[in-house]
């Protein structure tokens, strides 16, 4: 996914630790492919928008799409990882493990998903909390 590569380059240029970069890439990949596969029904002509932003201590990924209303934060509460080979829910679980905050809103026919990850201040040292 092009947006994932862009995120990787941006985060690396900003000196974000590699482990956190991996988690952010994973979160974007999972949420992005979920939008493509379900929200946009794999229609290559339909697009969704990704914004990435780094403030002094927080990395924010915002995904916007015009697919049917879908709140992944609710799905995350409902879906539990299965013992057997049923990967349903793994994607959202991976997002949860790597992101500190997930917020969903539906505004004017648009799904807006905001993922935030604390990266630990200007020097990006791991946060102690």
Judged by the rule CB under 8 A, the positions of this chain that interact with another protein are: 1, 4-5, 18-19, 22-23, 25-26, 29-30, 33, 36-37, 81, 83, 85, 87, 90-91, 93-94, 97-98
* Helix, strand, coil percentages for the chain (3-state, nearest 5): 40, 25, 40
The smaller minimum CB distance to another protein, of residues 28 and 111, is found at 28
Find, among 77, 103, 91, the residue nearest to 26 by Cα.
91
Alpha-carbon distance of 99 to 109, in angstroms, equals 25
CB of 56 to another protein, least distance (A): 25
To another protein, the closest distance from the beta carbon of 4 in angstroms equals 8
- Judged by beta carbon, residue 33 or residue 73, the one nearer another protein is 33
Tell me how far, at minimum, the Cβ of 91 lies from another protein, in Å. 4
Q: Please give the structure tokens belonging to residue 84.
A: 């057997």
102: DSSP letter: E
């Amino acid at each position: 996914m092009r947006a994932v590569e862009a995120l990787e380059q941006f985060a690396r240029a900003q000196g974000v630790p590699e482990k956190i970069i991996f988690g952010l890439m994973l979160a974007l990949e999972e949420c992005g492919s979920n939008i493509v596969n379900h929200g946009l029904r794999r229609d290559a002509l339909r697009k969704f928008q990704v914004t990435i932003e780094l403030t002094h201590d927080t990395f924010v990924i915002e995904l916007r799409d015009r697919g049917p209303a879908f709140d992944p934060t609710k799905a995350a509460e409902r879906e539990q990882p299965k013992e057997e080979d049923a990967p349903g829910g793994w994607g959202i679980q991976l997002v949860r493990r790597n992101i500190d905050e997930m917020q969903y809103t539906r505004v004017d026919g648009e799904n807006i998903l905001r993922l935030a990850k604390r990266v630990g201040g200007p020097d990006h040292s791991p946060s102690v909390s």
